[in-house]
Amino acid sequence: MSPSLPSWLHWYRKPSYLDPVTFSKPANADIEQGLGSGSGSRPSSISSQSDTAIPADLSLDRVLANKTCSPLSLYDFYMYLKHIEMSPENLEFYIWFKDYETRYQQGSHPGLPSQMTPLLVAPTGEKAASFSYAGALTESELDDEKPASGSDSELQSYIESLVAATQETRPCRNTSPLFWPRPSAASDRTLTARPFSNREELSHVSALFLTPSSRKELNIPPSMREKALDAIATSDSPEHLAPVANHVYYLLRNCSHRNFIRLGVKNGTFETLCMVTIVGCLFTALGLLTMLLVAFASPSIHHSSRWRGLASVPFWVIGFSFLFAGWRGSCFLLLLFSRRQELPWERLEDNASTKSGRSARLQQLWLVRFAKKLMIFERKIRVKDQGLRHLQRKIVVQSVVAAVIVTAVLEVVWLVLPIWK
């Protein structure tokens, strides 16, 4: 068995982009074929796939466990799905399902402690009158299984509260709990005083996520949807929704999470990467120009020492380092200092506040918009996640080593030419 190379020698390439709509179509088709054959098992063609482009420290399981930090935290993943892929319902449903599954298992064992999860029902398990809220279901509405809009809205607020819906303003803690960020005293009373029964909660969830043309309809196969709706109509066990949760997890892991990591590795805006690439090309061209001047014009051909050709080494090393880092979607200067520019959802509020009066007119100019997003004009934010910082250091080392190798090859080619003294 041949020894494996050190991890830093494996040339890193960021994950390739996958279109969520295009990716989900064959996945849903394979599920339909698997269910239609009566096997009831997940087709092997859509089993979970490992990808060396995503380090173990940045895996989806660690993101869902809230063990990653900015810019790859659970909150950032939720904002990415909400503002970039426009599909936050996948993460919301999966987080709700894991929370509901935990509460259901704890409910079946009254002796077990239940302090790890905020409850949607009263601590006694009964619908006490003191736990009333706006939009509560009446008995007639419950019998008709038509959830009130106020109840759906409150359930949606509860699901969003399970996600870390506030940006980190303190040092990242990798030991923070999975789906249960510590609420304030006021919100704690709200979360633990839900009057929903399991049947009511599933009714709201089906109306929100499973009903066709609903506000947050999940992109799942029709047969899986129908089977889940029929099952939860007669039972409140979470095992009936497990296939849906597994399918959503598959889409998150093999598509959305890959695209999210791809965006996180890209520490600069498109404008910054364009400018860094141009700077890398300029340094490379400057190194070539230096070599030509030293060889042919200073003082002239066959009159210059070959060792003077080493003057182009610094230019080529810097230029190729910039190019190799930019090829993988990262700004070399930002990588050196573990910094990044603002993510798209982080600049939404700033854009809203500046689009007024003269600023709005200036932003219509393409050149002004381009310059505003350059690294030298924008705020640089420290990368908090240790896994991402380790990956960025790996990209820096690989870029410099590759630049030195290419420079050495070019120097050897030039210095052996019969143009020197």
The encoded tokens of residue 131 equal: 């736990």
**Model pTM greater than 0.85?**
no
Strand partners, 340: 381
Q: Is the pLDDT of residue 147 over 60?
A: no
The encoded tokens of residue 266 equal: 């890209």
Q: Is the pLDDT of residue 405 over 80?
A: yes
Asked whether the beta carbons of 358 and 312 are under 8 A apart, the reply is no
**Mean local confidence (pLDDT), 354-374:** 57
Domain presence at residue 10: no
Cα distance between residue 319 and residue 404, in whole Å: 10
Q: Map residue 111 onto helix, strand or coil.
A: coil
Q: Map residue 288 onto helix, strand or coil.
A: helix
**Mean local confidence (pLDDT), 29-55:** 58
Model confidence pLDDT, tens digit, residues 229-278: 999 988 889 999 999 999 999 999 999 999 999 999 988 888 888 889 99
Give the pLDDT band of residue 171 (cuts 50, 70, 90). Answer: very low
Residues 254 and 344 in one domain: no
**Mean local confidence (pLDDT), 209-230:** 91
The encoded tokens of residue 13 equal: 């390439």
The owner of tokens 């009057």 is 195
CB-count burial class (<10 Å; 0-12, 13-18, 19+) for 169: exposed
Give the pLDDT band of residue 16 (cuts 50, 70, 90). Answer: confident
**Mean local confidence (pLDDT), 200-223:** 89
Residues 236 and 352 in one domain: no
Q: Which candidate, 343, 363, 365, 344, places its Cα nearest to that of 355?
A: 363
Model confidence pLDDT, tens digit, residues 47-75: 444 457 888 899 999 999 888 998 999 99
Q: Is the pLDDT of residue 349 over 70?
A: no
Cα distance between residue 138 and residue 122, in whole Å: 17
Instruction: Work out the mean pLDDT of the chain and round it to a whole number.
Output: 76
Cα distance between residue 278 and residue 333, in whole Å: 14
Q: Comparing 103-117, 153-167, 219-233, which segment has the lowest mean pLDDT? A: 103-117
Query: How do strand 339-340 and strand 381-382 relate by DSSP bridges?
Result: antiparallel
Asked whether the beta carbons of 221 and 35 are under 8 A apart, the reply is yes
Q: What is the pLDDT of residue 116?
A: 36
| Pure H helices in 266-383 | 270-296, 313-327, 332-336, 348-354, 357-362, 366-372
Say how many domains are in the chain. Answer: 2
Residues 252 and 303 in one domain: no
Residues 331 and 246 in one domain: no
Residues 207 and 284 in one domain: no
Domain boundary pick from 248, 265, 282: 265
Q: CB under 8 Å to 201, separation ≥6 — which residues?
A: 100, 120, 155
Residues 226 and 91 in one domain: yes
In which element (H, E) is residue 392 found?
helix 386-415
Q: Is the pLDDT of residue 108 over 60?
A: no
Q: What is the pLDDT of residue 193?
A: 37
Could you give the angle at which helices 74-83 and 88-107 cross, rounded to 10 degrees?
A: 130
Higher-pLDDT residue of 44 and 320 is 320
Q: What is the pLDDT of residue 172?
A: 64
Residues 253 and 276 in one domain: no
Q: Is the pLDDT of residue 316 over 50?
A: yes
Domain boundary pick from 209, 240, 265: 265
Residues 283 and 171 in one domain: no
Q: What is the pLDDT of residue 148?
A: 43
Q: How far is CA 215 from the centre of its chain?
A: 23
Residues 135 and 259 in one domain: yes
Residues 214 and 277 in one domain: no
Q: Is the pLDDT of residue 291 over 80?
A: yes
Model confidence pLDDT, tens digit, residues 77-88: 999 999 999 889
Q: Which candidate, 47, 76, 83, 3, places its Cα nearest to that of 351?
A: 83
Residues 295 and 331 in one domain: yes
Give the pLDDT band of residue 364 (cuts 50, 70, 90). Answer: low
Residues 115 and 155 in one domain: yes
Query: Which residue range(s) make up the domain with 226?
Result: 16-38+47-265
Q: Which residues of 194-210 are buried (b: 16+ CB within 10 A; e: fewer)?
A: bbbbbebbbbbbbbbbb
Residue type present at position 380: K
